[in-house]
Amino acid sequence: MRTTGAKDAVSVLFIEDDEVIGRHVEAGLRSHGYAVNWTRTGGSGLAEAARLPTDVVLLDLGLPDMDGIDVARQLRDEHSNVLILILTARSEEIDVIVGLDAGADDYLVKPFSLTVLLARLRAHLRRRPPAPAGPGEPIRIGDLTVDITARRCLLGDREVELRPKEFELLAILVRHPGEAVSRESLMAEVWDENWFGPTKTLDVTMSSLRRRLQAAASAYPPVALPALTTLRGHGYRLDPPGPLDGN
């Protein structure tokens, strides 16, 4: 399960029996704000994944009790949303292919640097579709967080001040990332369900929303900001930032 709250750390389940690599990676991830749960066997990893909400699994393939591929397969079966990165000392292509077939999202060949691991994690976490936020939970897309209940918009950890209509417009678009939303439905939801007149006010509000987000982003680079794309003759679409955008 992917956490969506701005203050919630991404939770990483780290399954690795090598003490040296384990300590190094655990400390590195912690110092970069990840919540790390390190376990040394496949069996205990599966148990931990069942016990605690987990965003990411870093999975060593060479484990003492189980084949890492089987662990990956079981994790994927039981936790469809979790991001699985396999770590392999065996650079043979076959391990990687079998691992990806088993449901892993990506792999790193040992020895890997912490910098590469962190960059890979950031890229994957940005690319992932936002978890369906529960009612009242903030929606996070790239570095943008929209908390509809609290009426707050954050870029990274910084507040972005929006006018009421700008906020309402953004709140609709973030609920449908990657989907076209028609002008009519935006007008109806944000302004007035009986609106039949000109819709210039929508474009003006969209422009000022874009300006405010861009201004906030340029004050806080590098930032992964979703794009507000104009669909001529139809409406708008919020596009999640691509991998490594703004990175």
- Give the E-state strand segments of 138-231 in sequence order: 139-141, 144-147, 152-155, 158-159, 180-182, 227-231
The residue of the chain with the least Cβ separation from Ca ion equals: 62
Q: How far is CA 104 from CA 37, 93, 162, 215, in A?
A: 19, 14, 40, 38
Closer residue to Ca ion (CB): 17 or 184 = 17
Binding mask 22-61 for Ca ion (x = CB under 5 A): --------------------------------------x-
Assign 135 to helix, strand or coil: coil
Check binding of 245 to Ca ion (CB under 5 A): no
Closer residue to Ca ion (CB): 98 or 155 = 98
| Least distance (Å) between residue 153 CB and Ca ion | 44
What is the DSSP secondary structure assignment for residue 145, as one 8-state letter? E
Q: How far is CA 241 from CA 127, 150, 170, 247, in A?
A: 7, 24, 15, 11
Check binding of 95 to Ca ion (CB under 5 A): no
Which residue in 178, 199, 150 sits closest to 190, CA to CA?
Answer: 199
Helix boundaries (H) for 86-199:
93-101, 114-127, 164-175, 183-186
| Least distance (Å) between residue 66 CB and Ca ion | 11
Closer residue to Ca ion (CB): 36 or 186 = 36
Closer residue to Ca ion (CB): 17 or 67 = 17
Check binding of 17 to Ca ion (CB under 5 A): yes
Among 62, 177, 242, 246, binds Ca ion (CB under 5 A): 62
Check binding of 67 to Ca ion (CB under 5 A): no
How far apart CA 183 and CA 109 sit, in angstroms, is 48
| Least distance (Å) between residue 19 CB and Ca ion | 10
- Contacts with Ca ion by CB under 5 A lie at 17-18, 60, 62
